[in-house]
Chain A
Amino acid sequence: QKEVEQNSGPLSVPEGAIASLNCTYSDRGSQSFFWYRQYSGKSPELIMSIYSNGDKEDGRFTAQLNKASQYVSLLIRDSQPSDSATYLCAVISDYKLSFGAGTTVTVRA
């Protein structure tokens, strides 16, 4: 069983729309959750971290965490072409950071 699962996509959204990315994880004891963005050929860059149930907003990005459902999501509001990238969900489990395979997002101009 995969530790961190994401919809692989690709997810195509029109410019200005909301992109919704989902992630589930298997370790119920996980406490720290991260979203990274990775442009093609580049390294992952941190977008947000979240540790408590509920929503956390940072600019156009909102992370949502539900530990009871073992679910974390990322919403991108007012999507821009520059948001086109692969988004990686990462969860700390047993001290290690486990990554999902990523969801590729394409924002259509």
Chain B
Amino acid sequence: ETGVTQTPRHLVMGMTNKKSLKCEQHLGHNAMYWYKQSAKKPLELMFVYSLEERVENNSVPSRFSPECPNSSHLFLHLHTLQPEDSALYLCASSQVFSGGAKDTQYFGPGTRLTVL
């Protein structure tokens, strides 16, 4: 595997389910990100982890819970979601989280989530 991978690629869940999205980066990067992309809207940053520590939580509802066990893996745990949470969830990684050139982000293929 190369680059950034995400599983599952598609997920359909009910509002009472609990599921998790997984992201893995094979680039040796130290920062990882979760984004939400809804139709016709810009990508919304949800969470940022740098060296396995959460450095940004963009006012995301508590029904989304991130976990970063090491610099290569990132999870997004989902519970009691709402239909409006249906979207493409994208994971990205960058060499560092510094606000500069080394922050170039590379994206995974995304998980298409549908909440019924």
How many A-B pairs have beta carbons closer than 8 Å: the answer is 55
A32 partner residues in chain B, CB cutoff 8 A? 99-101, 103
Size of the A side of the interface (Cβ < 8 Å), in residues, is 23
A49 — which chain B residues lie within 8 A by C-beta?
Answer: 101, 104
Known A-B contacts A43-B90, A43-B110; the reply to A31 vs B43 at CB < 8 A is no
Are A51 and B97 CB-contacts (below 8 A) given A43-B107, A43-B108, A43-B109?
no
Does chain A have a CB within 8 A of B53? no
**Chain A residues in 8 Å Cβ range of B88:** 43
Is B107 within 8 A of A96, CB to CB?
A: no
When the two chains form their complex, are residues B42 and A4 in contact, meaning their CB atoms are under 8 A apart?
yes
Q: List residues of A whose CB falls within 8 A of some B CB.
A: 4, 31-32, 34, 36, 42-46, 49, 51, 88, 92, 94-102
